[in-house]
Structure 1
């Protein structure tokens, strides 16, 4: 009988671990199943870009696991029974149970308001794709109305710094775009030197320093 490995969660930790196991273990002796609530791979480390108005790729998990022998179950985990070694899932077909010999629990984390009054009702987070789209819709609405506003980012960790940086860059680009539209000119004409200097200075004032940004690699916690 094959050794059944069930990986709950297909984020960076779950997907990368499942692929590593598939490479190192023989499919003759092992069976790997990944359970995830959505069919797409969410690039959580880039969700701050989504919140700021950029598009980020969301590859299908079937493509991510293609050729690995990994089984994908798109479903939501509702219970884990360690004594019976089963995982209960719910999906469009009604769900069921998955038996396992080894279970990897990699459902990740979510945004927390820590009980701060008003945070749950009025603040945004970028911990998941749906929640990252909420500030994006808010900022897009202000841009369409030509209104400005203040953005307060609470937290100065990597997520907070990168979110503030991306929003600042996006706002600067929108400001320059609106400045150009308000002063139409013949297509063949070049901007006057004084106006070009003003635009350049505006960009320099608002453009953050992104030279320190480097790709980040995460690994499952032991």
Structure 2
């Protein structure tokens, strides 16, 4: 019995230490549209359950602060964060993107109203990197990744796991680097009606039903 308890405790420790890897993303959703529409969702679709992401959105505070507030509301769910950023990068109405990811509108508005320092903090962190380009993926003491092909972002991030590679690193979903990207379902689907356009969106609904993202990339 003692050995069983020991194994259980060890497995629990390994589980939480394995999922504690943190990466940081620096980017402008509208400037880095391709990355947030295709590359980042693909990365998350592969290893989203094995990493935690800190976001430092740069650009105009008029949109970067609301984006960081939305991501804060979706903390600990990298799949919904990727869904939200993808929606924003596609140029859809922000109200629609908030609705699609089930963000609490009251908490979101409170964050935006008091989150002016987020933009300056993100800009300061970005300047410390000494790199004048985005998107940038920071993987801790191993350095930063920027200006590489789509699949290399995932490969570089996977180095943080050492020999304990998650399945998404060993056998990632197909990655298509062609110019044409077929339509695909989002990372998450919701049982509610969200209107894309100038009409208002019912942000009060929070029912969630997640489904996997369809493959949009081809292997190297």
TM > 0.5: no
Q: Which protein, 1 or 2, shows the higher relative CO under an 8 Å CA cutoff with sep ≥ 6? A: 2
TM-score, length-normalised on structure 2? 0.19
- Give the alignment's TM-score, normalised by structure 1: 0.19
Structure 1 or 2: more helix by fraction: 2
- Which has the greater radius of gyration? 1
